[in-house]
């Protein structure tokens, strides 16, 4: 079995130690970091995402797989930068105030980083002004917000309204996601895109499918 196939298998099993070892081996064999990422780690995560969607695996498996992915990604990060994968944009990312669900947001962050974006991850329970301050400080042009609770969804609108007040609305693109959201809700609050998963978030960031 090739190293990338082994990576895909071990990542699915959430075996962080083996994923780190295999990633190290692949690096030592001069496999390019982009190939290790795309054909190994991201391919493994894509299988995990599909299985999770079909209820073939459950949340603890997703968490373990994500941890294994980080074990490999940590080794690749410096090489990816050296390999000249250009930072194609900066994204401020966080779970909105009052909401402690950060697993989906973290997966989105991984996918965006893998696609070449610099991610400024503000964590969870992030107050509205923090999103905008971070964008201003970092020069990011994209703000990504996650919410998993119907009670915290309205915080996204508060962020966008605050951007309008601060005259930042025209210069920022707002990307929203999380299980209770929808395209209609994204439109209603003035967001530029609603994304249903990490892969889709990358596509959304690239194309911004929801029109204002």
Q: CA 79, CA 10: separation in Å to the nearest integer?
A: 22
171 binds ligand B1M (CB under 6 A): no
172 binds ligand B1M (CB under 6 A): no
Tokens linked to 106: 């973290």
Q: Does 149 bind ligand B1M (CB under 6 A)?
A: yes
**C-alpha closest to that of 62 among 19, 116, 14, 113:** 14
Return d(Cα 3, Cα 22) in angstroms, integer.
7
Using CB under 6 A, pick the residue from 61, 101, 130, 173 that binds ligand B1M: 101
Under the binding rule (CB under 6 A), the answer on residue 1 touching ligand B1M is no
- 105 binds ligand B1M per the rule CB under 6 A: yes
Per rule CB under 6 A, is residue 201 in the interface with ligand B1M? yes
Residues 18 and 23: their CA atoms lie apart, in Å, by 8
Instruction: Name the nearest CA neighbour of 189 among 209, 207, 168, 210.
Output: 210
Identify the residue whose tokens are 């498996």: 61
| Shortest CB 32 distance to ligand B1M, Å | 27
Is residue 99 a contact point for ligand B1M (CB under 6 A)?
A: yes
Q: How far apart are CA 8 and CA 175, in angstroms?
A: 29
For ligand B1M, the closer CB: 38 or 102:
102
62 binds ligand B1M (CB under 6 A): yes
> Which listed residue (146, 155, 160, 185) binds ligand B1M by CB under 6 A?
146
Tell me if 44 contacts ligand B1M by CB under 6 A. no
Closest CA to 27 of 68, 86, 75: 75
Distance CA 149, CA 33 (A): 37
Among 2, 141, 150, 171, binds ligand B1M (CB under 6 A): 150
Residues contributing to the site for ligand B1M (CB under 6 A): 59, 62, 93, 98-105, 107-108, 144-146, 148-150, 175-180, 195-198, 201
């Amino acid at each position: 079995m090739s190293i990338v196939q082994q990576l895909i298998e071990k990542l699915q099993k959430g075996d962080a130690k083996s994923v780190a070892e295999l990633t190290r081996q692949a690096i030592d064999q001069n496999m390019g970091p982009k190939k290790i990422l795309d054909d190994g780690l991201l391919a493994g995560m894509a299988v995990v995402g599909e299985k999770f969607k079909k209820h073939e695996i459950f949340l603890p498996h997703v968490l373990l797989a994500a941890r294994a992915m980080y074990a490999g990604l940590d080794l690749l990060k410096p090489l990816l930068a050296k390999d000249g994968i250009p930072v194609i944009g900066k994204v401020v990312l966080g779970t909105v105030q009052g909401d402690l669900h950060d697993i989906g947001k973290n997966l989105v962050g991984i996918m965006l980083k893998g696609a070449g974006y610099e991610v400024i991850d503000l964590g969870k329970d992030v107050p509205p002004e923090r999103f905008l301050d971070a964008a201003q400080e970092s020069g990011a042009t994209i703000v990504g917000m996650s919410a998993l609770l119907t009670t915290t969804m309205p915080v996204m609108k508060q962020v966008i309204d605050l951007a309008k007040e601060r005259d930042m609305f025209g210069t920022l693109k707002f990307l929203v996601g999380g299980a209770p959201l929808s395209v209609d809700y994204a439109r209603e609050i003035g967001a530029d895109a609603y994304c249903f998963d990490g892969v889709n978030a990358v596509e959304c960031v690239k194309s911004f499918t929801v029109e204002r």
